[in-house]
């Protein structure tokens, strides 16, 4: 069912971290622990060469998601690291090819890595005042009843929300759909880290 390469990256994941690294300049988060796979990526980009020197990650998900992220981290950092532009050209099918394929029902797992990398590179552009180079990301609805998106949560953090209670006061997240509170809290922590608010 799984190739030898997939099994190796699952049992011996490359560049995985159990704790968030302190030295990075790009951070990306995609997925949701509430619905399954979630991925967090930290990049260290050399500002002079724009090469990705480090790609650290955490994934909450299945064997395919773990193997896909591990392989992506290798692809981006091997041979001295890809430039940002080259890294942005990596597609899910490139990851699948390096893994010698995944079962059809697991192909979506390779898409998460692609999106997390994009989000982390956008964060690098934001941190280095290169907003014009950022690629637009679609908003994801967190509370479908009251229409709160991940972007609304980020704005609330920038406007002063530090706790889940403060986030709910500003956005009403969870009042329509209480099941989304764990995801809202995860996003709150992510945006506090992203914007270096401690």
What confidence tier does 1 reach under pLDDT thresholds 50, 70, 90? confident
Evaluate the CA torsion angle 74, 77, 80, 81 in order and state its sign: positive
| Alpha-carbon radius of gyration of the chain | 17
Two structure tokens written together for 34: 């509430």
* Catalytic residue selected from 90, 95, 109, 121: 109
118-170 per-position pLDDT tens digit: 999 999 999 999 988 988 766 778 887 777 888 889 989 998 999 999 999 98
Place of tokens 């006061």: 169
Active site residue 180: no
Residue 84 has pLDDT above 80, yes or no: yes
26-82 per-position pLDDT tens digit: 999 887 655 566 789 999 999 999 999 999 999 887 888 899 999 999 999 999 999
pLDDT of residue 55: 98
Domains and CATH numbers, the chain: 4-133 (3.90.1010.10), 141-194 (1.10.10.1100)
Active site residue 62: no
Residue 8 has pLDDT above 90, yes or no: yes
* Catalytic residue selected from 18, 22, 35, 48: 35
């Amino acid at each position: 069912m799984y190739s030898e390469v997939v099994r190796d990256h699952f049992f011996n994941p490359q560049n995985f971290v159990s704790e968030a690294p302190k030295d990075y300049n790009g951070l990306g988060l995609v997925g949701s622990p509430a619905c399954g796979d979630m991925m967090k990526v930290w990049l260290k980009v050399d500002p002079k060469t724009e090469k990705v020197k480090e790609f650290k990650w955490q994934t909450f998900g299945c064997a395919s998601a773990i193997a896909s992220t591990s392989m992506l981290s290798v692809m981006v950092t091997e041979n001295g690291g890809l430039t940002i532009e080259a890294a942005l050209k990596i597609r899910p099918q490139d990851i699948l090819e390096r893994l010698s394929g995944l079962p059809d029902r697991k192909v979506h797992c390779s898409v998460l890595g692609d999106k997390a990398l994009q989000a982390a590179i956008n964060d690098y552009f934001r941190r280095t005042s290169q907003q014009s180079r950022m690629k637009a990301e679609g908003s994801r609805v967190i509370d479908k009843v009251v229409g709160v998106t991940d972007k609304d949560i980020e704005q609330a953090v920038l406007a002063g929300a530090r706790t889940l209670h403060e986030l709910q006061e500003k956005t009403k997240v969870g009042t329509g759909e209480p099941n989304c509170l764990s995801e809202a809290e995860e996003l709150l922590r992510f945006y506090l880290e992203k914007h270096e608010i401690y």
